[in-house]
Structure 1
Amino acid sequence: MKEERYFYVPDASHQNELPKEEAQHALRVLRMQAGDEMFLMDGCGTFYQAEISAASTKHCLYNIRQTLSQKKTWNGRIHLAIAPTKMMDRMEWMTEKCTEIGFDELTFLRCQFSERTTIRTDRIEKIVVGAVKQSRKAWKPIVNELTKFSDFIHTPREGRKFIAHCYDEIDRADLFQTLQQTPQEEDVTILIGPEGDFSIEEVREAISQGYESITLGSSRLRTETAGLMAVAMAQLSKRNV
């Protein structure tokens, strides 16, 4: 059976040429030629069965043969907001795995105890696109710029909002149990702090803005593990069986 090749093409139905990087991969790496079949994904819920109509050194033109609308495999929206670690490769790994599992939006937070205050969203975008193609997700997660914690929590958001932390003096509910009691179609936003945790003032400020205090379990997790765990819990509670 011939392997199906997937390419990310935003606005695929209104184009007839692969983006530059996708064209290079198709022509130079995969050695595809005119007449070869491929599948396009627009990141907004649709796949397209297409055929290469013309191929040159730098350009790859296509004709769409069939439009394939996809059904989302989970309900509601899952938004992870997380403080990036000093070693960015750990955040990149987490982003890749969260995309493979399935979520809708990623925001990086600048917090009081943050070790990193800058990120390259262009690099994160490339990792997301690669993971979307590998896992064949019909929806590409939105990647936002680094945002101040206070600005983020004061922005109105739909659905339930949670902040994970390790302060024993503040009551915490179990995230997974709480999500299981939440309507599947309700949006979910989950905040994960830096390695030194959020400051207790940040936790209290978030709670004052409607965020619910939660724990991810009895283990003390690294930031990237906590982010992955939060997305996995949300995905399990919202998946379409």
Structure 2
Amino acid sequence: MPLLMLTCFAPDLHPDQPTYTLSEEESKHAVRVLRLAPGAPVLLVDGHGTLASTTVQDANPKRCTLAITSHEFIVPRATYTHVAVAPTKNLDRMEWLVEKAVEVGLERLSFLRCARSERRDLKLERLEKIAVSALKQSGQAYLPQLDELIDFDKFIAEIDPSTTFIAHLEAGERTALAQVIGAAPRCCVLIGPEGDFSPSEIALALGRGVRPVTLGSSRLRTETAALAAVFTAQVVREL
């Protein structure tokens, strides 16, 4: 299916339905902003792998109805990238991370409350909207899972240490993420706050069997490090 036409988010799309009515927000954008008329092509994506080619049937700015002409299911990738990051005080930087990580192809993003975290609470509503917008813009078929903020020690207790890596800045032996990620079809990379993980948090992770990694010689901002982890995982696996 072509991905250059207008793409709209349809979270409740079903393969057997002949028509689909866009939400009021999507309808307003399609009809009032883009001025789509009956017969105009629209691509629907549900964020779970289903795409549908449609044409505008009723260009109502509040309830735009589309006639579905065909469906396609995109098989999920065999790899799965999960990044857990301590959100920055400036929420704009987390919004940037969500947008870019969705474009690159992240499967899951968790938010950690660490000892040195500047942000102690986080509301996902705005980030979820940004994720949907990035999904539509980039032509991705799957919407990443965004998790509520969770305490670091609780998160560590729940993960699979055999597929988890911690990118910390403390002295000690660390392996480049690119060298170990290719052998791990599923991976979770932990990214700390601006002041890094605390020594006790690093010790807790290592004690659970989480492996220490480095993202390079540069000292990266939190959101840059998180995106670098996503990009590294995608590029290494594609090569």
Q: TM-score range by the shorter chain?
A: over 0.9
Equivalent position of 2:220 in the other structure: 221
Cα deviation digits, residues 44-96 of structure 1 (max 9, x gap): 11210012222223111122100022244x43210010001111111111111
5+ unaligned residues in a row in structure 2: which ranges? none
In the TM superposition, 1:33-182 aligns within 5 A as 33-72=37-76, 74-157=77-160, 160-168=163-171, 170-180=172-182, 182=183
Deviation above 3 Å: which 4+ runs of structure 1? 156-159
Identity %: 41
Aligned partners of 1:75 and 1:238 also within 8 Å: no
Report the 3-state secondary structure (helix = DSSP H, G, I; strand = E; otherwise coil) of the residue aligned with 2:20: coil
Aligned partners of 1:159 and 1:187 also within 8 Å: no
Normalised TM-score (structure 1): 0.92
In the TM superposition, 1:162-241 aligns within 5 A as 162-168=165-171, 170-180=172-182, 182-183=183-184, 186-239=185-238
Q: Matches of 2:33 and 2:160 in 1, distance apart?
A: 43
Report the 3-state secondary structure (helix = DSSP H, G, I; strand = E; otherwise coil) of the residue aligned with 2:110: strand
Number of residue-to-residue matches in the alignment? 235
Amino acid at match of 1:171: E
Aligned partners of 2:20 and 2:65 also within 8 Å: yes
- Please identify, of 198-207 and 152-161, the stretch whose mean Cα deviation from structure 2 is larger: 152-161
User: What is the root-mean-square deviation in Å for CA atoms of aligned residues?
Assistant: 1.9
Report the 3-state secondary structure (helix = DSSP H, G, I; strand = E; otherwise coil) of the residue aligned with 1:144: strand
Amino acid at match of 1:9: A
Normalised TM-score (structure 2): 0.92
Aligned partners of 2:163 and 2:186 also within 8 Å: yes
Q: Matches of 2:24 and 2:189 in 1, distance apart?
A: 35
Q: Matches of 2:219 and 2:60 in 1, distance apart?
A: 53
Cα deviation digits, residues 119-147 of structure 1 (max 9, x gap): 22000001111111110001111111111
Amino acid at match of 1:150: D
Amino acid at match of 1:203: I
Aligned partners of 2:23 and 2:62 also within 8 Å: no
